[in-house]
Amino acid sequence: MEHQHIYRKGTSAEAPTLLLLHGTGGNEEDLLPLAEMVSPASNVLGVRGNVLENGMPRFFRRLAEGVFDVEDLVKRTQELHAFLDWAAEKYEFDRSRIVAIGYSNGANIAASLLFDRGDALQGAILHHPMVPLRDKTLPDLSGVPVFIAAGRRDPICPPQETEDLNELLSGAGADVKLHWENGGHQLSRSEVGMASSWFKEKFLQGEQR
């Protein structure tokens, strides 16, 4: 399925393409400032979720706050896979070199991509994610770098949810960095700064030499 989106070609052929996935009520441009902080030379693909909840865009339906519509999540994850395949061909970037930056609902669909296929993403920055699917056997994620930012007082995503996601991804072989903030569900400048430093270490070392 087509997604409303924006694409901006970067200035570096070495840097991964950044896939931007907004939170509930956001749009394809919401996380552009994060992309600028994390990797200004990268291609940027900002995507808008296809589901509306009280007029607010989301990437998949939920039955209540914190309760996902699992059938819809699985369906929308497959649609996003297909969209990324299409976008890579259309915009001529390397499909195997996509790093997602997701916040809240966007982080959840990014995590679902990882849970679904080992080659879905080269890496991911997940701001305040939850476990997308329970009782699922994860693919081999050996060496896939994942940065998780979470709030110790997050009322929407309790700390145990973060610990569970960390354990599941690490158990599948992912190289997970977990960063805690003392606040709630809001996106903080400090966690974006930490994500930016992590990204440069994992993906841009060769370019900086």
Q: Active-site positions?
A: 104, 154, 185
CB of 24 within 8 A of CB of 58?
yes
What Rg, from alpha-carbon coordinates, does the chain have?
16
Alpha-carbon distances of 199 from 13, 100, 168, 169, 195, rounded to whole Å: 16, 11, 21, 18, 6
CB of 15 within 8 A of CB of 7?
no
Alpha-carbon distances of 103 from 93, 137, 150, rounded to whole Å: 23, 24, 10
